[in-house]
Structure 1
Amino acid sequence: MKRIAIVGGGLAGLSAAYELQRNGHSFTLFEQSNRLGGIVDTLRQDGFVIERGPDGWVTEKPWARELAIELGLEDELITSNDHERVTWVLQQGKLLPMPDNMRMMVPENVDTILHSPLFSEGARNAYIAEEQRADELKAAAPTQDESVASFIERHFGEEVLRVIGAPLLGGVFGGDVHQLSVRAVMPAFVQMEREYGSLIRGLAAKKAQRGDRPASPVFTSLKTGTGTLVERMAATLSDASIRMNAEVEQIERTRNGWSIDGEPFDHLMMALPVHHAARLLAKTDARMVELIVQPTSSAVIVGFGYLPGTAPVTPKGFGFLSPEGESCRLLAATFSDQKYTHRVPEGGKSLRAFFGGEEAEALQQESDETIIAAATCEMEKVLGPLPHSAIAFARRLPSSLPQYGVGHGERMSELQERVNMLGALHLLGNGYRGVGLPDLIRDGRAAARELLAS
């Protein structure tokens, strides 16, 4: 039986371990911290369920839901309250609603844009023109990758990019839309452009194909939080296979496989953030390491829980975005108890605030008290005075969000070629083939299955 090392116990590494375990194959998982799951972590206290990381996943990607059902969590599955879904955008200090029935910055029907106070007449005209320019846009679709900013500006102009495009994508990737690869970040829209030219026409066609069937809820989570998925997977693993608080110092390629701090293994599943993976593989293949290395951005999440009787009033909807240039330093905020059920005791309230980019970087070394005070101040700029919360926490996620730059797909193809040449190696994690929870689960399990079949 192959001796398999998994370095990193985040969601991708844990998913690989789970798949190996359920197929009866032994492994050794090295995790430098005292817990598994990486950024996935749920706080449960006094009737509150507050996520310290991702609060769910995109419903249309099936792999997280499939795993939850496999783990006996079908009764735990909940979907976002889309009947009350409103995303607010801060504009000149005021919260304005995004129009209904939009997928990111694209409306299913341009009529929803025409009376929106969020956009100027110029932006509304750009939306109207996009549908009319369908043939032109299809003919001019680039054959090479381009930035997200370039793609959105070609279709809708600079204002739409600034007001909703950049904030929406910043909430997921925390990155610069002028650097992010549209093919890596928005592949469905790139395909839509190839087929229809106009993204508005493309969404309308998808809606027509759906017919009378209602659209799937946008997000899915678990009643007791996403952390339950991690905990249930971890519970299936043999204690003898897991080494906690075990930071790997040295990895070397050997004639027969790999040496992990002097211990021999036949196969390595590297499931660390890209900068850590590159450091440990530095002596293995210089070009491979060049391809692994990519810019990353940091994030800070601040969570609040308010008891019944002290809960602040928030606007209807899921939360707000704060575009660059507004007075609020936050990237976004979520009204968690309005996005999902089962998040607070009856009459309570849960809010989450997000710092990204340079703001998050500047806060990494600050105390929890300083970060919580900063988040409270920024939230109050938008929501007005807030009462004292019963629960408040800050979570720093340094260099946690890889930036899929223009040409990411080509780099990943070359990287996979180098990995194949080297052999006995899988690279897992959010630096390669997707950043969402379903992507990481799919990646880890697929790698394990491939290894079992070889």
Structure 2
Amino acid sequence: MARVAIVGGGIAGLSAAYELTQRKIPFILYEASTRLGGIIETTREEGFVMECGPDGWVSEKPWARELCIELGLEEDLIPSNDTERVTYVLRDGTLHAIPSGMRMMVPTDLEALRESKLFSPSAIAAYEQEPQRAQELKDYAESHMAEDESVASFVRRHFGEEVTRTIAAPLLAGVFGGDVERLSAQSVMPQFLAMERTHGSLILGLRERSRPDAKAIFTTLRSGLGTLIDAMTSALPEESIRLQSCVDKIEREGDFWKICAGDASETFDAIFLATPVHRTRSLLASVDAEAAQLLAIGASSAVIVGFGFNAEQAKSFSVPQGFGFLVPPGEEGSDLLAATFSDQKYAGRVPEDGRALRAFFGGNAGERLQGESDGWLIALAKKQLGDVLGCELPDAALTIVRRWPLSLPQYEVGHADRMRRLNERLNVLPGLTLLGNAYRGVGLPDLIRDGREAARQIS
């Protein structure tokens, strides 16, 4: 029976370990830190449920929900409060609501768009004209089907420059932490490219797909995503987990893989590298230089600062109805990329009458702020959140600070072709699988799907 090494205990590596356990395939999971779960971590204190990394997943992707049900967590699944779902964009220091009926930067309700103060009359006119250009856009898509392009180029073609800067840039930066001028449309928004090829107009394509009984946009666990990590970890054999075990080198020895961690080494039939992409590249350099070069993928860093305010503290400020706000690149006076009004996005995040806010710094600011102290980051987040909300935030009952360096790989133009060439190299390295958010998707469901599928392939 195959013996497998898993290097990296984030959600992808952990999902692979869980599936191997179900199939009774022996493995060793190496994790350099003191805990499993990677950037998924939940702090529970004084009635607050505070996420230190992602706070949920996109509901339409089924793999995270399926795993939760399998683990007996079905009763803990909760949807986002979509009756409260308003997201704002900070523009010239003022919050403007994204019009209802928007799917990312594509509207389904033009009347709501016309009433919005987020867009100028010329941007609204560009939206109104897009369905009339359906055949032109479809013809373009068909004649350029084999080409990749930037997200910015794709959005400009449909809706113009203002829409690209005002809404597409902060939305995509919030997910990928990247620059829309460099992000690959083919890899980041394949569903919209498919709509363009079929309908030409994204507005017409989205209207056809819309259903009145659609699921909530997001799903999470009532007790926090850390519960998923705990449940998966509990299902693994203790002797298979090695925490604080940093893999320094991997080698190919005949038909086997050799893992070197500290002073010890072991051989395996197969190896799953579920490390951050820069670490994977370093480990592969001595095995296959060409594969390692194809992993020269940029990644951005993030800083999250979360505040939990009890009932007394929450009396001193107010928050508009909604899930939070986005900040377009270049907004003067703000280092924020986004903020979440956590207690309004999901139920059960705070004690009675409490509030929970999370500040997210990414892109250039996320990188620049990595070395700052917790106290400095807390002060910065309080000041910039307070500026947006028009108040001075009080000291919070609970505060968390997390730095996630190089945690968001950039799917730049040409990413799909790069992955194709990487797979060709991996085909000559039998037993080696790469897992993580640098390859086939960044969301929790994508990583769970990939980890479990890799384990099934081994079996």
User: How does the TM-score come out when normalised to structure 1?
Assistant: 0.98
SS of the aligned residue for 1:65 comes to: helix
Q: Structure 1 stretch 238-247 or stretch 255-264: which is displaced more?
A: 255-264
Separation in 2, partners of 1:325, 1:281 = 37
Query: For 1:49-103, what per-residue CA distance to the aligned partner results, in whole angstroms no more than 9, with x for missing partners?
Result: 0100000000000000000000000000000000110001111111111100110
Report what 2:369 is aligned to.
Answer: 363
**1:4 deviation in Å?**
0.7
- State whether residues 8 and 270 of structure 1, in contact with CA within 8 Å, keep that contact through their aligned partners in structure 2: yes
**1:324 deviation in Å?**
1.8
Report what 1:113 is aligned to.
Answer: 113
Q: Does 1:146 align with 2:145?
A: no
Separation in 1, partners of 2:4, 2:296 = 24
Q: In structure 2, give the amino acid aligned to 1:411.
A: R
**1:129 deviation in Å?**
1.1
- State whether residues 105 and 164 of structure 1, in contact with CA within 8 Å, keep that contact through their aligned partners in structure 2: yes
Q: Does 1:183 align with 2:182?
A: no
SS of the aligned residue for 1:302 comes to: strand
Q: Does 1:334 align with 2:340?
A: yes
Separation in 1, partners of 2:334, 2:434 = 38
Unaligned runs of 5+ residues in structure 2 are none
Separation in 2, partners of 1:131, 1:300 = 40
**1:256 deviation in Å?**
1.8
- State whether residues 100 and 109 of structure 2, in contact with CA within 8 Å, keep that contact through their aligned partners in structure 1: no
Query: For 1:150-178, what per-residue CA distance to the aligned partner results, in whole angstroms no more than 9, with x for missing partners?
Result: 00010001100111100001000000111
Report what 1:248 is aligned to.
Answer: 247
**1:293 deviation in Å?**
2.1
Query: For 1:124-173, what per-residue CA distance to the aligned partner results, in whole angstroms no more than 9, with x for missing partners?
Result: 01001111100000001132110000000100011001111000010000
Residue 310 of structure 1 is aligned with which of 296, 313, 328? 313
- State whether residues 37 and 230 of structure 1, in contact with CA within 8 Å, keep that contact through their aligned partners in structure 2: yes
Report what 1:285 is aligned to.
Answer: 288
Matches within 5 A, 1:127-138: 127-138=127-138
Separation in 2, partners of 1:316, 1:278 = 44
Report what 2:199 is aligned to.
Answer: 196
Separation in 2, partners of 1:68, 1:183 = 30
Query: For 1:250-273, what per-residue CA distance to the aligned partner results, in whole angstroms no more than 9, with x for missing partners?
Result: 111111211101311111111001
- State whether residues 164 and 323 of structure 1, in contact with CA within 8 Å, keep that contact through their aligned partners in structure 2: yes
Report what 1:352 is aligned to.
Answer: 358
Separation in 1, partners of 2:198, 2:420 = 24
**1:291 deviation in Å?**
1.3
Q: Structure 1 stretch 256-265 or stretch 393-402: which is displaced more?
A: 256-265
Report what 1:429 is aligned to.
Answer: 436
Residue 328 of structure 2 is aligned with which of 298, 305, 323? 323
Matches within 5 A, 1:48-447: 48-141=48-141, 142-143=144-145, 144-207=147-210, 210=211, 213-261=212-260, 262-311=265-314, 312-326=317-331, 327-383=333-389, 384-447=391-454
Separation in 1, partners of 2:423, 2:353 = 51
Q: In structure 1, give the amino acid aligned to 2:324.
A: G
Unaligned runs of 5+ residues in structure 1 are none
Q: In structure 1, give the amino acid aligned to 2:236.
A: L
- State whether residues 109 and 200 of structure 1, in contact with CA within 8 Å, keep that contact through their aligned partners in structure 2: no
Query: For 1:175-200, what per-residue CA distance to the aligned partner results, in whole angstroms no more than 9, with x for missing partners?
Result: 01111001111011010000000000
- State whether residues 3 and 25 of structure 2, in contact with CA within 8 Å, keep that contact through their aligned partners in structure 1: no
**1:42 deviation in Å?**
0.5
| Percent of matched pairs sharing the same residue | 58
SS of the aligned residue for 1:40 comes to: coil
**1:354 deviation in Å?**
0.4
Q: Structure 1 stretch 121-130 or stretch 320-329: which is displaced more?
A: 320-329
Q: In structure 1, give the amino acid aligned to 2:449.
A: R
Task: Give 4+ residue runs of structure 1 displaced > 6 Å after superposition.
Answer: none
Q: In structure 2, give the amino acid aligned to 1:204.
A: R
Q: In structure 1, give the amino acid aligned to 2:127.
A: Y
**1:278 deviation in Å?**
0.6
Q: In structure 1, give the amino acid aligned to 2:321.
A: K
Separation in 2, partners of 1:450, 1:253 = 20
Query: For 1:258-316, what per-residue CA distance to the aligned partner results, in whole angstroms no more than 9, with x for missing partners?
Result: 11013111111110011000101101111111112200000001100001121131000
- State whether residues 336 and 362 of structure 2, in contact with CA within 8 Å, keep that contact through their aligned partners in structure 1: yes
Separation in 2, partners of 1:324, 1:239 = 46
Separation in 2, partners of 1:42, 1:175 = 25
**1:329 deviation in Å?**
1.4
Alignment: residue pair count: 448
SS of the aligned residue for 1:334 comes to: strand
**1:224 deviation in Å?**
0.4
SS of the aligned residue for 1:310 comes to: helix
**1:110 deviation in Å?**
2.1
Q: Structure 1 stretch 252-261 or stretch 58-67: which is displaced more?
A: 252-261
Separation in 1, partners of 2:348, 2:176 = 27
Q: In structure 2, give the amino acid aligned to 1:15.
A: S
Q: Supply the RMSD in Å over aligned alpha carbons.
A: 0.8
SS of the aligned residue for 1:405 comes to: coil
**1:111 deviation in Å?**
2.2
- State whether residues 110 and 200 of structure 1, in contact with CA within 8 Å, keep that contact through their aligned partners in structure 2: no
Separation in 2, partners of 1:131, 1:361 = 40
- State whether residues 58 and 219 of structure 1, in contact with CA within 8 Å, keep that contact through their aligned partners in structure 2: yes
Separation in 1, partners of 2:300, 2:442 = 13
Separation in 1, partners of 2:330, 2:266 = 52
Q: Does 1:24 align with 2:29?
A: no
SS of the aligned residue for 1:166 comes to: helix
Separation in 2, partners of 1:259, 1:235 = 27
Report what 1:37 is aligned to.
Answer: 37
User: How does the TM-score come out when normalised to structure 2?
Assistant: 0.96
